[in-house]
Structure 1
Amino acid sequence: MSTPRIADGIAAAMLFARGRAEGLLLLPPTEAGALHSFRAALICLPAFLGLRLLAWSQQGAPRGGLVLGLLAELVGFVLSWAGFALASRVLAEQAQRLGRWPHFLAAWNWSNLVQYLLLAVLAVPVLLGAPTWLSNAMGLVALGYALWLEWFVTREALGVVGATAVMFVLLDVAIGLFIGGLSARIAGGG
């Protein structure tokens, strides 16, 4: 396969979003493909920052100040992506799927585009003053979809049973909650 392209990663993510495993065919199953897939984080970064700023506009700025808050969130963003990559490698080895891990990591990283796109779309009703109950209901649906998407990508990319895929999803959730809480505490929010 030739040099990985961002357009292929985006196209793969859109296929994954619809439950189509053939998105994997667009991603090279190599370490270079896995490394290239971290470009998805750069694409997601503006949405991440925008969502944080929106949350602070609704809940109040972090007590530690905007600069410290942004710095803490940026470090947390990087640690979440890198931390999951490293921890998932260990889990893939335990599942005897280490040879498929680079392909999985590429698929996982690119699938994050869909999740950030969904979060950005869900921010629109909040900005338009939607009732809290509606925003909360949409958030729960989005969370369910995001968990399904992560499970689907894991199951397909690693070729594991559903229960094993759940372990990867739980690992991601645990890392995200830990780092998110730590970032909030550093920023003066917790």
Structure 2
Amino acid sequence: METTTAGARRSFAAALICLPAFLALRFFAWASLEEPTLAIGRPLVAELTGYVYGWSLFVLVSLPVIAGWGRAALWPRFVVAWNWISVVQYLAQILLSVLLVIGLPPIIGQGLTLAVVGYSLWLEWFMARAALGISGGRAVGLVVMDLALGLFIAGFVLRLSTG
């Protein structure tokens, strides 16, 4: 795994790899609305803006936290690992979405949704512990920070998309 700042920059190629899955997930969500609309220009721009923020904000906010723990030298490795586990997380989400679209029974769909969310959270926690050599509690802190930023970005996207 790359451990340099240049390697961390290169690892953002994962965002390009995940973009089709992200767009597919958005279109699945829009198609499932009770009253789907063909006017998706503004919501699409809002979602893409959120996508860019989602890939960059956590990485930037995590640096001072990780530096405060005396692990700044490991931050590039953390960024590389975080970017690439996102590919795995998107693959799990898109697979789940396809299964839901083809008509899984609701109870199985709900169970698989819970499993995918749990797996994604565990994977990020495990990666943070391994990449930074930190305690489980600190890794939980990073996961919670990522979730909080994701909720903030989701609210921002909602405001952008609805005016």
Shorter-normalised TM range = over 0.9
Q: Match for 1:137 among 111, 115, 118?
A: 111
Q: CA RMSD in A?
A: 1.7
Q: Give the secondary structure class of the aligned counterpart of 2:32.
A: helix
CA distance, structure 2, for counterparts of residue 106 and residue 160 of structure 1: 16
The runs of 5 or more residues in structure 1 that have no matched partner are 1-26
Confirm whether residue 150 of structure 1 aligns to residue 132 of structure 2.
no
Matched, 1:71 2:34: no
1:50 and 2:24 equivalent? yes
What is the aligned partner in structure 2 of residue 89 from structure 1?
Answer: 63
SS at match of 1:54: helix
- Count matched residues: 163
- For structure 1, which segment, 176-185 or 150-159, has the greater mean C-alpha deviation from structure 2 after superposition? 176-185
Name the stretch that deviates more: 68-77 or 178-187: 178-187
1:112 paired to 2:86: yes
How far apart are 1:61 and its partner, in Å? Answer: 6.6
Alignment-derived partner of residue 17 in structure 1: none
- 1:59 deviates by 1.6
Runs of 4+ more than 6 Å apart: 61-64
Q: Deviations over 1:60-93 (max 9, x none)?
A: 5777930001100000000011101101111111
8 Å Cα contact 1:72-1:186 kept in structure 2: yes
Cα shift at 1:109: 0.5
Work out the percentage of aligned pairs sharing the same amino acid: 45
Provide, for residues 140-173 of structure 1, a one-character-per-residue CA deviation record: whole Å limited to 9, x for no partner.
1111100000001000000001001111111111
Comparing 179-188 and 99-108, the one that deviates more: 179-188
SS in 1 for 2:144: helix
Structure 2 gap ranges (5+): none
Structure 1 residue 185, shift from structure 2 partner: 2.7
**TM-score under structure 2 normalisation?**
0.94
* Structure 1 position 130, deviation (Å): 1.8
Distance 1:185 1:59 in 2: 18
**Corresponding residue for 1:20?**
none
The residue type equivalent to 1:94 in the other structure is G
1:7-45: per-residue Cα shift (whole Å, max 9, x none)? Answer: xxxxxxxxxxxxxxxxxxxx2200011000100001001
Contact 1:62 1:69 in 2 (8 A): no
Secondary structure at the residue paired with 2:8?
helix
For 1:67, the aligned partner's letter is G
Residue in 1 that maps onto 2:101: 127
CA distance in structure 2 between the partners assigned to 1:91 and 1:63 by the alignment:
42
Q: Is the 8 A contact 1:62 1:187 kept in 2?
A: no
